[in-house]
Amino acid sequence: MTNHSETTAQVTLRSPAELADALPYLLGYRPEDSMVLVALHDSDGKGRFGGRARLGIPAHEEDWEEAARQLARGLVTSSERRGAKPEQLVAYVCQEPAPGERGRDVKRRLARLAHLLRIQCGDLDVPVIEALCISDGRYWSYCCPAEDCCPEDGTPMGLPGTSVLAAAATYAGIQVRGTLKELRARLQPWEAAAAREQEVALDTGGLALVPRILDEAGRAEVAEETIVLAERVIHRLAAATPVAGALPADLRDDGLIGHDEAARLILGLQDRNTRDRAAAWMEGDEAAPALRLWRALARRCVGPYAEHAAPPLTLAGWVAWSMGDELEAREALAMALGADPDYLFARLLHQACNEGLDVESIRRCLRAGRPGGAPGTEASTDASGPTDPTGRAESTASPAPAGEPDPAARIRRRRRLRSALAAAGDGPLAARVPGQRRRPASPGQAAGRAPRASTRHPAGTRMPAKGTEETTT
């Protein structure tokens, strides 16, 4: 099987070991707790890598068959939509041992999942020519019965970066990120002592901003103040001294944003018009510091304000996609939907990114709605939001969609909830200001909000809806 590149010589992979080593370079990161399918297309008698699809391994075995069916259908369907059905597939199941387990125990436990993947792909007339388990720095082949080449304890993986494919990828400028867990950590809420200070700032900011947002004139003033403050913070971040490493960079950014500033920005971005104007920081010199700001704000949506992370997470996903980083875009948008499953902007962008829409078409819509692309300029009433795959535009002049209430409606709803809690004698809980939200027992309840744990990638905890498969070409 051969992986072709426009800028480098072709690299031929001849063994399961080389296929196992290739997985991080095919995805752009090291998968954990994942099942992956990679498409192969025939080219002059040699296999050529095509699309890739990944889902988290469901925690309950009864969900494995449906997950395998969705993964197989998602990859084959997306490949057909791009004009070429795969001739063959390579399957991977990746999971680290639980406490008390060894890698070979993981291999035995996931054997049924690998078998289900092969069955589902076979039902679509696309055979799986190799199925690999990767765990604890070793790999096993489910397709090789020979004990001498596939020992019970597995075969050690090579040192990262030492294979021929690694050298070719480095030459081509392809970088392998860490794990998805490390990527999500940059977007997840604080859990340190500073989280309490941020929550107090959000409570205090809500008391000051909510009455103004409920007033029509005050709402416009809050929107303008939010954009001006965001622009000031973006310029502050852009002027900061660069540091090496994701964690030190995030800590530096957190130190450059005050609790009160973060609270005002988080609350102000709950307004859809304000969020759309902020989305115009998507290219040029402002894109990178804007992405840093949206990441930082997502980390500040602490405690009962977890739902408020949907706007900054969506903006982070949008800017990352606009800058060409589809991996972070998909993860940020998935986390936005975990925070608020009904957030329309995140749903449309997530679908568009997964379906391979041209990001420039969405940028054109944002530019058309803002003369000169300046976020401080009021959006026009035509197509100021992103278009969904059907061509509809989310206009900033139209009422908020049913699934994405405007801030005033959301605040009125929370006030009714507080009144009900007060009547029930809930005391301090009833006194919660805009951060108060109901806590459903599961993400799918009618309240439409996910608990804090749902900020993980949806596929890792429950069965994803069709169309949410991560696919790349």
Look-up: residue for tokens 């990262």?
A: 160
- Checking DSSP bridges between strand 470-472 and strand 46-56, what pairing results, if any? antiparallel
CA separation for the pair 275, 259 (Å, rounded): 20
pLDDT, mean of residues 406-416 = 49
- Residues with Cβ < 8 Å from 416, sequence gap 6 or more? none
pLDDT, mean of residues 17-28 = 78
Which residue in 332, 270, 275, 271 sits closest to 307, CA to CA? Answer: 270
CA separation for the pair 87, 90 (Å, rounded): 11
pLDDT, mean of residues 347-368 = 84
Please report the pLDDT score of residue 414 as a whole number: 45
Which of 34-43, 54-63, 200-209, 455-464 has the weakest average pLDDT?
455-464
Residue 263 has pLDDT above 90, yes or no: yes
Query: Does the global pTM surpass 0.85?
Result: no
3-state secondary structure 236-277: HHHCCCCCCCHHHHHHHHHHCCCHHHHHHHHHHCCCHHHHHH
Token digits of residue 448: 């439409």
- Checking DSSP bridges between strand 128-135 and strand 470-472, what pairing results, if any? unpaired
Going from the N-terminus, what domains does the chain have, and what CATH number goes with each? 16-175 (3.40.140), 183-368 (no CATH)
pLDDT tens, position by position, 121-167: 999 999 999 999 999 888 899 987 666 667 888 888 766 655 666 66
pLDDT, mean of residues 318-341 = 91
Residue 288 near residue 304 (C-beta atoms within 8 A): no
Using a pLDDT cut of 70, give the percent of the chain over it: 68
Within a 13 Å sphere around the CA of 72, how many CA atoms are in the beta-carbon half? Answer: 26
Distance in angstroms between the alpha carbons of the first and the last residue of the chain = 16
pLDDT tens, position by position, 56-89: 999 999 999 999 999 999 999 888 887 888 999 9
pLDDT tens, position by position, 214-251: 888 889 999 999 999 999 999 999 999 989 888 899 99
Alpha-carbon distance values, 29 to 71, 181, 424 (Å)? 19, 10, 49
